[in-house]
Amino acid sequence: MAFARLCMLVCVTTLLVVVTTACSSQERRGEVGEIGFNPRLERELQAEKEAAQYYDYNTPKAGAIIRSNPAGALVEWYNADGQWVAVGNTPTEQIVIEATGRPELFRVSAPGFMSQIRWVAATPNSEGVDIEFTLDPELPNERYYIGD
């Protein structure tokens, strides 16, 4: 019985050693000649990461306040992925935009009114942008003409 317990202990210990070394061997190494390691891709990824960090922390930013007539309209921002992202209702809190002169596209819409889309930009020396959207009411249903 003691011999069986000793054999089980040795087997379990061996199994644990094999499992831990197998898991640790799956770490990504940067050795020359390693299969699957692409130093050019790694440099490109690092450069992309540094550019994103520089943009996030060193690009000048400004605040934009968007108002509308009527108040309470939905404000959406057109992001780089081609999607409209809701950022709030008018009047908005300050929305952070680039202060490089690069315009950002905003859409303001309310039920019963035609939506408006406008470019908003800020320069590095501006303290902020205050934009007013005046929405026009939609035509009543009886004013639509549908032809034959």
- In this prediction, residue 65 carries a pLDDT of 86
Q: For the domain that residue 122 is a member of, what is the CATH number?
A: 2.60.40
Query: Does residue 101 sit within a domain?
Result: yes
Query: Does residue 146 sit within a domain?
Result: no
Position 22 pLDDT exceeds 80: no
Query: Does residue 82 sit within a domain?
Result: yes
Query: Does residue 75 sit within a domain?
Result: yes
Query: Does residue 11 sit within a domain?
Result: no
Query: Does residue 103 sit within a domain?
Result: yes
In the predicted model, what is the mean pLDDT of residues 136-147? 72
Cβ(118)–Cβ(131) below 8 Å: yes
Backbone angles phi, psi at 21, to 5 degrees: -75, -35
Query: Does residue 85 sit within a domain?
Result: yes
For 29-66, write each residue's pLDDT tens digit. 555 655 667 788 889 999 999 988 887 787 788 888 88
- In this prediction, residue 12 carries a pLDDT of 63
Q: Which residue segment(s) compose the domain that 76 sits in?
A: 60-134
- In this prediction, residue 35 carries a pLDDT of 66
Write the single-letter amino acid at 4.
Answer: A
Q: What is the reported pTM? A: 0.57
Cβ(124)–Cβ(132) below 8 Å: no
Cβ(133)–Cβ(90) below 8 Å: yes
19-23, 65-69, 120-124, 142-146: lowest mean pLDDT where?
19-23
Query: Does residue 127 sit within a domain?
Result: yes
Question: Could you give the count of Cα atoms lying within 13 Å of 79 in the half-sphere of its Cβ?
Answer: 6
For 111-120, write each residue's pLDDT tens digit. 989 999 999 8
**Number of domains composing the chain:** 1
